[in-house]
Amino acid sequence: MTWATVSLRKMELKNRINQLESEDLKISQRIQSLARQSSRDEQALQLQNNYQKTLLQQDYQDSMDAISNDGKASDADKQQAIASAQQQYNDRLSIFEQTLENRSNSIKELVDAQTQALEAQQEQVETQLKAARAEYESIGKAMDTDIKSSTITLGSF
């Protein structure tokens, strides 16, 4: 190869290395952003969980108060109403917790899939980057060797 061709190739490799480093950085940032978003989603689900449980507990308490204040009902009827209210509360709580768990698992699965895809892409970029750097160094060494072998020394005249 001529010096112009080798120099041009070295310059192309340097540009490619810069592009790959930039792409690698962008992928890393997307992975970090995805992790932060996942954390915020989990916090939002937890807040929603706390709010919904508070509403369920308030409904249960209201039912218990209504049963206690019902002066017309017999003790047996009140016990049956209390048992029914407790069962309804437990059923609603169980359904809510299962729904919340399903949503949380869905979010985790989506984030994991996206993270794995980004990590695979990043691995591919890093492999290309390593190859480009190796070729760049090889060309640099070859140019240095060629320069040293063609250097004229003062003692050679």
Domain boundaries, the chain: 3-138
The residue whose two tokens read 């978003």 is: 37
What are the respective helix, strand and coil percentages of the chain, to the nearest 5? 90, 0, 10
| Mean pLDDT across 111-124 | 96
Residue with the larger pLDDT of the pair 152 and 107? 107
pLDDT at 105 over 80: yes
**Whole-angstrom Cα distance, residue 21 to residue 9?**
18
φ, ψ at 85 (rounded to 5°): -65, -40
pLDDT at 115 over 50: yes
Helix (H, G, I), strand (E, B) or coil at 73: coil
**Contact of 48 with 129, CB cutoff 8 Å:** no
Q: Supply angle C-alpha 114, 98, 81, rounded to 5.
A: 165
Average pLDDT of the chain is 90
The pair of three-digit structure tokens given for residue 147, joined into one six-digit string: 């320069």
